Structure 1
Amino acid sequence: MGCFGCFAPAARRGAGDLKPSKLAHHCTDDDSVADAQRKVAPDVGSGCAHSFTFKDLLVATGYFNEANFIGEGGFGKVYKGKISKTNSQGASDAQMVAVKQLARESVQGRKEFLVEVLMLTVLSHPNLVSLVGFCAQGDERLLVYEYMPFGSLESHLFDVPHGKPPLDWNTRVKIAVGVAEGLSYLHNVADPPIIYRDMKAANILLDEDFSPKLSDFGLAKVGPVGDRTHVSTRVMGTYGYCAPDYVVSGKLTMKSDIYSFGVLLLELITGRRIYDASRPKPEQSLLTWSRPFMHDKRKFHRLADPALRGSYPPSALNQLVVISIMCLQDQPHVRPIIADVAIGLNHVASQPYASLASMGSPAYSGSPQYSRTPSRRRGGGGGSRRVSQYAS
């Protein structure tokens, strides 16, 4: 447990999870589209994900009716749809899905499409979004996911509209635990291990119980195995979330994900984006603004999201800040492993905040506010922006 000796011991979760089938092939950033297609083909044909025709998805989305439009990202547009399926009794049933359509001119998007199909056909965990199927017909490339009715964490954490209740403390901790356990599955159960590489609030989707699921695996990489310590690759990800050591060296490790998770955890604590151009200049960078408070335990409470109105256990807040600080260390070898992070977060979750006000939290009331599903939004609104490569 190392860094988390101050927390009560807890059983590691996921020990009983079955390892997924080995990824015999994987795509690198430099793979050609044709080569990637050959590598993905054996897994696509294994029946782990359904192959839809373009007409199937036209019908499912009402011919991509604007009324079914959910959101748009760097990959393309996302629509809500409904597909028919046959249950175990042979009866026909309908399933709500989210259909992500690749912009035809996106070369990088085609590579990400192939990586995502490969990854999600062999990975399975309650905290990973499920891939229902795909379409690769002619020039069309579409991904079909399970529908997540509460949309992204981003839509509930930042710029919450007036009258919509903010995420309460218990829900935020629940989300942090779920994200950590999904990441722990990728790092410790998947064989070979997977580096997620695109941790951000927009990629954390929420079901009707506010249970989180990691989505958007287009940038995921097979991690180092054997004597290898890192994966050398172009620096890709989202501005502000990338670990400084990865930005400088291009050496991707499991600890790169830990840093990104630390950023997400700090966003959950503060309710602030990692970068927000709409704020006064000294407050635009979350890491710069928060640094003076993170260096003094007596000031930890000043990091708490004002929207919480003090409704949180002070000791649990302090522990959450400590975990975030550990994850955000500049030197990767100092950062904890995700299994220990999950243990610490489960200890925090064992100290829920109890009050009558919590019964009015979004976890107990309100209707689903779906704003987007697996997609990659570029720029806008002072939020996080996707960058393909950093200059050192």
Structure 2
Amino acid sequence: MPASELGEAKKELKTRVVVIIAVAIVVAIVSGMFIIAYLICKSRTKFKEKMENSVIIDRRIESQKEELELPFFDLATIEKATDNFSSKYKLGEGGFGPVYKGTLIDGQEIAVKRLSQSSGQGLNEFINEVQLIAKLQHRNLVRLLGCCIEAEEKMLIYEYMANKSLDSFIFDQARGKILPWSRRFHIINGIARGLLYLHEDSRLRIIHRDLKASNVLLDSEMNPKISDFGLARTFEKNQTEGNTNRVVGTYGYMAPEYAIDGLFSIKSDVFSFGILLLEIISGKKNRGFYHPNHSLNLIGHAWKLWREGRPLELIDMCSDDPCTLPEMLRCIHEKIHLMQIHHRASINYLQPMRCLLHY
């Protein structure tokens, strides 16, 4: 090819490359602008919806102040009690938001559950918890002392539980050793009493839907108290079952019919109680359970040991007192009984818990 034609070909190729790059840049800029505009619009819509929900909740709580008979704390009081939400007083954080320890002017210790600004479901959980737990009174349920609704802040104020949650003991080898069987049995009975109250004795029949080790708090004397009613649902006295398209809770504690089909009832909580029972006895988590000799989960492992006549191998701690062995076996038997009757609707699910309490 002559040199003159080769030069023109190079110039033409260079021009095409420049045009392609320019077009690509323009398309990228225009696309970026559309994406940014969409995100801003979406963000504003979410913020607007959140603010509207927040206003609705404020009005609903304001209209129910007298009915709830719940003290309202001002923001300044809570900020002073928590040293302006200092990180050194932070107890933990969940889907609702962070929890802080605080001390009121009179010396009373409190736990402050602060709704996170980025919490998606927190607003609904907040109003749900205020409406439900404010009307509940039982020694094995955590006590709601009041709430704070000011500016954009929404907080629940609870009694402070010195020993935090049950999972911090039973799943920790060092701390688990200071939790003897007598104390574990006391905790099991306390949880059962609280659950029976929710299902039968309270003014409202309440399905907790998220009973697990981290939602059982322990006071200074290691008395258990069921907490976190953000996902709870109420039933009419003659209602036996509910259905939902939005399954909430914690996998590993959910009854199969709830996890798969969204069906929940008092049986759902009792199934969760059974899982919790196994975890307290064994010191092992149901989720992530591993055994070197088989691939069964904790429930399957417990069933295997029971059928082979070796149920005591499930127990986490050793006991020098032979009198405690019948209690241990009783707890294992009640869980096995719950497993056997799980799909038989004619069986009263609360009976195993009653037997345990009267034992």
* Aligned partner (choices 262, 265, 269) of residue 274 of structure 2: 262
The alpha carbon displacement at 1:289 in A equals: 2.8
Matched, 1:76 2:94: no
Counterpart in 2 of 1:327? 338
Root mean square deviation, CA, Å:
2.5
**Counterpart of 1:175 in structure 2: which amino acid?**
I
The alpha carbon displacement at 1:49 in A equals: 2.0
The sequence identity of aligned pairs, in percent, is 36
1:226-237 to structure 2, matched below 5 A, reads 226=238, 228-233=239-244, 234-237=246-249
The alpha carbon displacement at 1:191 in A equals: 2.4
Q: Do the aligned partners of residues 161 and 246 (structure 1) sit closer, same or farther apart at CA in structure 2, a change above 3 Å counting?
A: same
SS where residue 94 of structure 1 aligns? Answer: coil
Matched, 1:271 2:283: yes
Q: Counterparts of 1:42 and 1:111 in 2: how far apart (Å)?
A: 17
**Counterpart of 1:117 in structure 2: which amino acid?**
V
Structure index of larger Rg: 2
The alpha carbon displacement at 1:314 in A equals: 2.5
Q: Aligned pairs, how many? A: 305
Q: Counterparts of 2:97 and 2:232 in 1: how far apart (Å)?
A: 18
Counterpart in 1 of 2:183? 171
Q: Counterparts of 1:169 and 1:139 in 2: how far apart (Å)?
A: 46
**Counterpart of 2:262 in structure 1: which amino acid?**
G
Matched, 1:54 2:66: no
* Aligned partner (choices 165, 181, 186) of residue 198 of structure 2: 186
Q: Do the aligned partners of residues 61 and 123 (structure 1) sit closer, same or farther apart at CA in structure 2, a change above 3 Å counting?
A: same
Matched, 1:308 2:318: yes
* Aligned partner (choices 176, 201, 217) of residue 205 of structure 1: 217
Q: Counterparts of 1:283 and 1:174 in 2: how far apart (Å)?
A: 32
**Counterpart of 1:147 in structure 2: which amino acid?**
Y
More helix by share: 2
**Counterpart of 1:140 in structure 2: which amino acid?**
E
Contact 2:303 2:336 in 1 (8 A): no
Q: Do the aligned partners of residues 246 and 333 (structure 1) sit closer, same or farther apart at CA in structure 2, a change above 3 Å counting?
A: same
SS where residue 292 of structure 1 aligns? Answer: helix
Contact 1:77 1:102 in 2 (8 A): yes
**Counterpart of 1:53 in structure 2: which amino acid?**
D
Counterpart in 2 of 1:103? 116
SS where residue 337 of structure 1 aligns? Answer: coil
Q: Counterparts of 2:266 and 2:320 in 1: how far apart (Å)?
A: 34
Contact 1:256 1:332 in 2 (8 A): no
* Aligned partner (choices 153, 163, 166) of residue 140 of structure 1: 153
**Counterpart of 1:291 in structure 2: which amino acid?**
W
* Aligned partner (choices 107, 118, 139) of residue 94 of structure 1: 107
Contact 1:97 1:144 in 2 (8 A): yes
Unaligned runs of 5+ in 1: 1-31, 85-92, 349-392
Q: Do the aligned partners of residues 155 and 311 (structure 1) sit closer, same or farther apart at CA in structure 2, a change above 3 Å counting?
A: farther
The alpha carbon displacement at 1:254 in A equals: 0.8
Counterpart in 2 of 1:379? none
TM-score (norm 2): 0.78
Q: Do the aligned partners of residues 212 and 40 (structure 1) sit closer, same or farther apart at CA in structure 2, a change above 3 Å counting?
A: same
The alpha carbon displacement at 1:276 in A equals: 2.5
Contact 2:142 2:225 in 1 (8 A): yes
With a CA cutoff of 8 Å and minimum separation of 6, indicate the structure with the bigger relative contact order: 1
Q: Which moved more, 1:238-247 or 1:311-320?
A: 311-320
TM-score (norm 1): 0.71
Q: Counterparts of 2:223 and 2:183 in 1: how far apart (Å)?
A: 9
Q: Counterparts of 1:325 and 1:266 in 2: how far apart (Å)?
A: 10
Q: Counterparts of 2:240 and 2:178 in 1: how far apart (Å)?
A: 41
SS where residue 64 of structure 2 aligns? Answer: helix
Contact 1:263 1:274 in 2 (8 A): yes
Counterpart in 2 of 1:119? 132
The alpha carbon displacement at 1:286 in A equals: 1.7
* Aligned partner (choices 135, 139, 143) of residue 130 of structure 1: 143
